[in-house]
Structure 1
Amino acid sequence: DNPHATSIEEIFKILKTTPNGLSDKEAKKRLEQYGPNELITAKKISPLKILLGQFKDVLVIILLIATVVSMLIGEILDATVIIAIVFACVILGFTQEYRAEKALEALKKLAAPTARVLRDGKIIEIPAREVVPGDIILIEAGDRIPADARLIEAVNLQVDEAVLTGESMPVPKNTDTLPEAKIPVADRKNMVFMGTHATYGRGKAVVTATGMATEFGKIAGMLQYVEEEKTPLQERLEHVGKWLGILSLVVCSAVAVLGIFRGHTLLEMFIWGVSLAVAAVPEALPAVVTISLAVGVQRMVKRNAIVRKLYAVETLGCVNVICSDKTGTITKNEMTVREIYVNDKVIKVTGSGFDTKGEFYDGNAKINPQNIDGLSLVLRIGALCNNAQLETKSKKVTLVGDPTEIALLISAVKAGINLKELSKTYPRIREFPFDSIRKRMTTIHMTPEGDKIAYVKGAPEVILQLCSHIYLNGKVKELTEEKRRQLLEIVQEMASRALRVLAMAYKKLDETEEYIIENIEKNLIFVGLQGMIDPPREEVIPAMKLCKDAGIKVVMITGDHKLTAIAVAKEIGLLEKESEDKHVLTGAELDEISDEELEKIVDNISVYARVSPEHKVRIVNALKKKGYVVAMTGDGVNDAPA
């Protein structure tokens, strides 16, 4: 139940497996026992079901009754007109919804993934659906994780879990047994999860859950119990339809009774009453509603939005609260360097996501970074001490690697640095890769003059301890303890704005110096800092203003850290710059309060951080109970149940 809190030896015993993996025979047996490693999807909606669904409308039912009655009393023309209106509505509604279902099916057709596993001690590649509990999976940078698994080996392994947890940064992984069983998914550093993908390093893991038993599967399971509710328009039309039916019957009965009292025959008054009932029904109303909604759907199509149900268009018009995920929705899920500290100054960098266009500003003055000694050196270190790749083919940029390293490449490209030329000018001759213990990476290069130089990047507190000098305005000076303390304060200040900060340093090497890591990574020269964040999309701030003007409250719900959520919320205007924490709630705080207590405070909360999919459902339900019409938007599977 809690593999993250179980030792590796114990896991092997429980799952009856070994470091060499399962045998083919045992794997086949387990595949029969546990079933294929895939999510059970809800049954497809058949065209017949979509068609019959069009006849559920109260007004359509009344019109069908009116048609039958008109035919019985000989009013064939009336019956023909009414049935024509009904079928026009039905065909229009069916066509629209059937097209939407087909479009969604096309979106879901993705390539079937594969997984590399150890079977009988040999590495083989199998379809991901054939992975079973007890399998040993091999993970490398770029791999999509096929199932939930407990790590038994991790070499600088980092995994992007944004789709599952909303965490904007790749998570460093290890094999240490965690002390507590009750730990959020986002904090289970010794586990990897189905649907996430490795961005750096490599690892081995023993599969602990497949298919619907995975964290991904649990979310898919939650989706299957979501009840479909009537939209506000459907409820109103149903209400109108019922009252029209009741009033028509009352009035027609009264007219018929009065006619009989005045001496008319029973048959004559029955025909009169039925004719009046048919006349009272607004035959054109369903047609007007359906056509209006279809026009709305067509407008949405022009904006690349697929609308499954016609009535959903009108419901969007009633929305007064939008709950939005952060990572990948409000932001691009693309790290971007925003600030560079060099020469005792903070240089601002513009641009969004992985876009290679951007400017550098010293205060309000635009600058050319290649003309500033320390700044060009910081950018060079970030670009060379780096394993990410950026290629431009026919104006299309292809990026491969860790998002943090990609951000460093992008900042260099923004400054006009040609990465291919830079690599040729400073060829790499040795690398000491990043690891979670050293918290740094070092590469050794030849300079154009034929000298050897080491470039180092890493956690600022670690790099500063290894530095004896600082590069300031083109000169190398001694790094005093006072200066080191000042630099750590600047790091803290940048981190408080939710920036991920990396320090850059270098060291000139002697021709005869051996490549011993301890010797190379000491007495370094500190150059500067690069601070990055997953920034908001450019179109978010105007969209926020539009929502505010329309009277729609926007709420940010994210699995990311509180500090990051607050920084992004302030940038997009969701929180005031000096806002207190009273408008922010975390998942841990949500667990401490009941649904009733949440309902009392839900109006005042604008940001929810470090929350799970279950928390998101609770928040949406609390808002609905307060009478709000709520929309939920997000790009991750963790947003789907809400």
Structure 2
Amino acid sequence: MAGNSLAPPTLAIDTRTRPRSDTNETRVVTPAGSFVSNISNISNPFLTPAHSNPFQTPVPSDCGASVLSVDPEAALRPDPGSEADFQVENNPFAFSPGQLNKLQNPKSLPAFQALGGISGIARGLQSDINAGLSLDEATVRTSITFEQAVRRTSDKFIETPERTPQPGSDSFVDRARVFGKNILPAKKATPIWVLMWNAYNDRVIILLTVAAVISLALGLYETFGTTPEPGGPPSVDWVEGVAIIIAILIVTLVGSLNDWQKERAFVRLNAKKDDREIKVVRSGKSFMINVHDVLVGDVLHLEPGDLVPVDGIYINGNDLKCDESSATGESDAIKKTPGGQVMEILESGANQKGLDPFIISGSKVLEGVGTFLCTSVGVHSSFGKIMMSVRTDIEATPLQKKLERLAVAIAKLGSTAAGLLFFVLLFRFLGGLSTDERSSSGKASAFLDILIVAVTIIVVAVPEGLPLAVTLALAFATTRLLKENNLVRVLRACETMGNATAICSDKTGTLTTNKMTVVAGTFGQSNFAKSENEKPGIQSVSQWAAGLSQKTKDAIVQSVAINSTAFEGEEDGQFAFIGSKTETALLQLARDHLAMQSLAEARNNEQVIQMMPFDSSKKCMGAVIKLRDNSGYRLLVKGASEILLNYCSAKADVQSLATSDLSNSDRDGIISIIDSYAKDR
């Protein structure tokens, strides 16, 4: 636990007085009943402080391009084919989906400035960058025009006539009607007859069909078109053609019916896979909602590892970097600049290089934390447009391509051999006509026998059992995989699993329950372990907590609460901490054994000067807080213990928090404890 002496001596701190933010809240109510909530976020560790920040990287100020003014008509001109997105009947908002889409694809700072920056966009969407949407909103009570939204004379909503609310309306009716929901339209299910036709359109099957028709025709001719020899057995040559037709039907039905059933099962599976929870701010409080319920105007939280569900504008935060390779193809970490800061730079005419307030759907948060304002959802978002454009038919698998090449080779070789034999026998037949004393019907029958022999070679060459054997083998593999809880959508996709030599999976939440608890710990000379890990001489967590001084408990709670992005919420109707599983485990320990009452209260009681989000390269995160007695500052750090140990030169007493030098023997002892914990995993 870091004490006063752990603060770096060279740490530069802005010591200007900052107001407390326990319950400061101001709301401006318009005649229409709408409100703007101005909630102080100074002590919020996830938001960048409004005043000068000594830790924040300054914006480059070298000379460069500048924007003195922007033409809204040119910046927001519809792209060809997207005119319909700019026309919305009875739109109470200042912007249409098409105008908001001009912010992205490609990213457009002129469009951002034409819409009035982050404040203008929030006004036009009748939202608030601090409080988010109101939970009481059904139909929007007021209308706002484009000109009113982009004005920068006031942060209040412009007074406009009230709109008559519809009685019994659902929540956010106008937003869903104008901007849509964060749902992509379901792909039209493929009819069973189309799947049967696709299964039939295989070169081997077509080749078998030709062979079956010829074999059946010749068999019927032999049975009904010729006179059998007296006393001879009846001709049943047509049976071979019928057998080939039955094999074709089995292959077509088995393949198409399996694909039809699995396609519907995968529709339900994909709907469940996309059903995830997103952290949003509504009415000034954080909530976990379904990703499909996110609306334009919502304020969303961003944390490392998050997959961004919608397009938006970055409001504020700390050192936010995103991987946008899914949309741009570039794997570089893109540093984001708060929208308010970008607007100030654009208006001042300073250098625009590196300014990027745009949050793209489908991107992944690599570092930092923050909030952003949603501007596009569903089919209007960048990721939604990409997903709609790639809805194409499934390509043939490698096995299918191999079978097609085999069918072509068989057809060529069989036809070549049959043709060669036919012409050899034909020349022999023609050469013997001069001495042939048979009747005309006999000679015609002999010529027909030559043709039958040639066609028989083609029929015999076609492996009529191959498609049936492959289909039955894949169907058997699908059944085996289903018993192991693996659902196969396309029958022939089993070959992919059959060729796999290794399967890599993230075990957390996949092979485990995605829940963590603190089972053991070491604090100075004291340690503890839960019942399943108890060893002789090691106390339980309750005994350990009871032996700590109140000063030590407060210090641990302070570090756990401030150095965390998790928050309080409900899961299945029960109180729970929501966020990173490591952080929620530490918070649960503080709540159960260290007398932490409220996470929000613990955070509001501290004055956070700077938040340093988790960095995967540094393997740690930190926060600088001002001590309550104004005697100095404290740097709280959380991260990989073996890495942080290398930076430590002193240790704190677990009871008094008095510091002393960290000796080599102390360091070796801590390393052995770290190794023992690593081996117990």
Q: Calculate the TM-score normalised by the size of structure 2.
A: 0.48
1:67 matched to 2:212:
yes
Q: Give the Cα–Cα distance (whole angstroms) in 2 for the partners of residues 357 and 220 of structure 1.
A: 50
Equivalent pair of 2:548/2:654 in contact (CA under 8 Å)? yes
In structure 2, give the amino acid aligned to 1:283. Answer: E
Query: Unpaired runs of 5+ in structure 2?
Result: 1-101, 127-141, 147-172, 221-236, 284-288, 346-350, 430-442, 612-622, 629-633
- Cα distance in 2 for partners of 1:335, 1:323 equals 22
Partners of 2:389 and 2:321 in 1: CA distance: 25
Deviations 1:245-272 (A, max 9, x none): 1222122223323333443732221122
Give the Cα separation in 1 of the matches to 2:531 and 2:337.
33
Number of the residue aligned with 1:94 = 256
Aligned 8 A contact 2:558 2:602 in 1: no
2:494 is matched with 313
Report the counterpart of residue 459 of structure 2 in structure 1. 278
Q: Which amino acid aligns with 1:205?
A: L
Which among 377, 382, 387 is matched to residue 220 of structure 1? Answer: 387
Equivalent positions of 1:75-90 (< 5 A) are 75-90=237-252
Deviations 1:110-144 (A, max 9, x none): 6799999999xxxxxx9999999xx6434479999
- Look up the equivalent residue of 1:410 and give its one-letter code: A
The correspondence for 2:191, drawn from 22, 27, 46, is 46
Q: Secondary structure of the residue that 2:487 maps to in structure 1?
A: coil
Q: Is the 8 A contact 2:578 2:584 kept in 1?
A: no
Q: Which amino acid aligns with 2:411?
A: G
Distance 1:335 1:311 in 2: 39
Aligned match for 1:245, one of 386, 411, 424: 411
Which residue of the other structure, out of 582, 585, 591, is the alignment partner of 1:410? 585
Alpha-carbon distance between aligned partners in 2 of 1:434 and 1:62, rounded to the nearest angstrom: 79
CA–CA separation in structure 2 for the residues paired with 1:164 and 1:397: 37
Distance in 1, Cα, partners of 2:649 & 2:459? 94
Q: 1:288: Cα distance to partner?
A: 0.8
Give the alignment partner of residue 290 of structure 1, picking from 471, 474, 499. Answer: 471
In 1, Cα distance between the equivalents of 2:450 and 2:599? 101
After superposition, the C-alpha distances for 1:343-394 in whole angstroms (9 at most, x for unaligned) are 289x999xxxxxx9985999xx98856559689958766667776459898x
Are positions 1:137 and 2:298 aligned together? yes
* RMSD over aligned Cα atoms: 6.5
Structure 1 partner of 2:47: none
The one-letter code matched in structure 1 to 2:373 is: A
> Is it true that 1:438 corresponds to 2:585 in the alignment?
no
1:21 paired to 2:125: yes
**The residue matched to 2:125 in structure 1 has which SS?**
coil
Alignment pair present for 1:256 and 2:422: yes
Secondary structure of residue in 2 paired with 1:85:
helix
Q: 1:229 to 1:5 in 2, by over 3 A?
A: closer
Quick one: structure 1 residues 300 and 26, their matched pair in 2 at CA, closer, same or farther if it must change by over 3 Å? Answer: farther
1:401–1:195 Cα change, 3 Å: farther
Equivalence map 1:341-360=2 (5 Å): 342-343=523-524, 359=533
Quickly say closer, same or farther: Cα 1:65–1:432, change in 2 above 3 A. Answer: same
Cα separation, partners in 2 of 1:41 and 1:280, compared to 1, 3 Å: same
Tell me, yes or no, if the aligned pair for 2:209 and 2:245 is still in contact at 8 Å: yes
Contact 1:335 1:407 in 2 (8 A): yes
Structure 1 residue aligned with 2:64: none
Q: Select which of 385, 401, 406 maps to 2:578.
A: 401
Residue 304 (structure 1) aligned to one of 470, 485, 509: 485
Structure having the higher strand fraction is 1
Q: 1:371 to 1:72 in 2, by over 3 A?
A: same
Give the 3 Å change call, closer, same or farther, for CA 247–156 of structure 1 in structure 2: closer
Structure 2 match to 1:58: 203
| 2:310 alignment partner AA | A
The answer to whether the 8 Å contact 1:118/1:136 transfers is no
Q: Distance in 2 between matches of 1:256 and 1:234?
A: 32
| 1:97 positional shift | 0.9
Q: How many Å apart are 1:67 and its aligned residue?
A: 1.4
1:182 to 1:34, Cα distance in 2 relative to 1, 3 A: farther
- State the alpha-carbon separation in 2 of the partners of residues 248 and 420 from structure 1: 79
User: What SS class does the counterpart of residue 216 from structure 1 fall into?
Assistant: helix
Counterpart of 1:150 (choices 313, 326, 344) is 313
Contact 1:37 1:128 in 2 (8 A): yes
Q: Is the 8 A contact 1:113 1:128 kept in 2?
A: yes
Secondary structure of 1:149's aligned partner = strand
- Distance in 2, matches of 1:81 and 1:19, equals 73
Matched AA of 1:298: T
CA distance in 2, matches of 1:271, 1:92: 32
Tell me the secondary structure at the aligned position of residue 475 of structure 2. helix
Question: Which amino acid is the alignment partner of residue 264 of structure 2?
Answer: K
Contact 2:607 2:626 in 1 (8 A): no
Query: Which of 103, 110, 113 is matched with 1:10 structurally?
Result: 113
AA aligned to 1:313 is C
Whole-angstrom distance in 2 between the partners of 1:100 and 1:288:
21
CA pair 193-177 structure 1, distance change in 2 beyond 3 A: farther
Paired position in structure 1 for 2:619: none
Alpha-carbon shift at residue 293 of structure 1 (Å): 1.1
Q: Cα 1:433–1:67, aligned 2, differ >3 Å: closer, same or farther?
A: farther
Preserved contact between residue 310 and residue 374 of structure 2 (Cα < 8 Å):
no
One-letter amino acid of the counterpart of residue 211, structure 2: A
Q: Cα deviations across residues 585-606 of structure 1 (Å, max 9, x unaligned)?
A: xxxxxxxxxxxxxxxxxxxxxx
Equivalent pair of 1:176/1:190 in contact (CA under 8 Å): no
CA separation of 1:271 and 1:433: change in aligned 2, threshold 3 A: farther
- Residue 102 of structure 1: CA displacement? 0.7
Name the aligned partner's letter for residue 311 of structure 2: D
Q: Write the distance in 2 (CA, Å) between the matches of 1:388 and 1:117.
A: 12
1:205 is aligned, of 369, 373, 385, to 373
Counting aligned pairs with the same residue, the percent is 19
Match of 1:308, as an amino acid? R
Classify 1:232/1:335 alpha carbon distance in 2 versus 1 (closer, same or farther; 3 Å).
same
Letter in 1 for 2:257: T
Query: Is contact 1:232–1:315 with CA below 8 Å preserved after alignment?
Result: no
Task: Report matched runs for 1:376-525 at 5 Å.
Answer: 388=567, 399-403=576-580, 406-411=581-586, 419-420=591-592, 423=595, 431-432=603-604, 437-439=609-611, 440=623, 458-459=636-637, 471-472=652-653, 474-478=655-659
The 1:92–1:436 alpha-carbon spacing in structure 2 relative to 1, beyond 3 Å, is farther
Displacement of 1:220: 1.8
Change in CA separation of 1:61 and 1:436 when aligned onto 2, cut-off 3 Å: farther
Secondary structure of 2:251's partner?
helix
1:358/1:201 CA distance change after superposition, 3 Å: farther
- Following superposition, the deviation at residue 151 of structure 1 comes to 3.6
Distance between the aligned counterparts of 1:273 and 1:243, measured in 2?
18
Structure 2 CA distance, aligned partners of 1:469 and 1:70? Answer: 92
Give the count of matched residue pairs: 447
Give the superposition deviation at 1:196.
Answer: 8.4
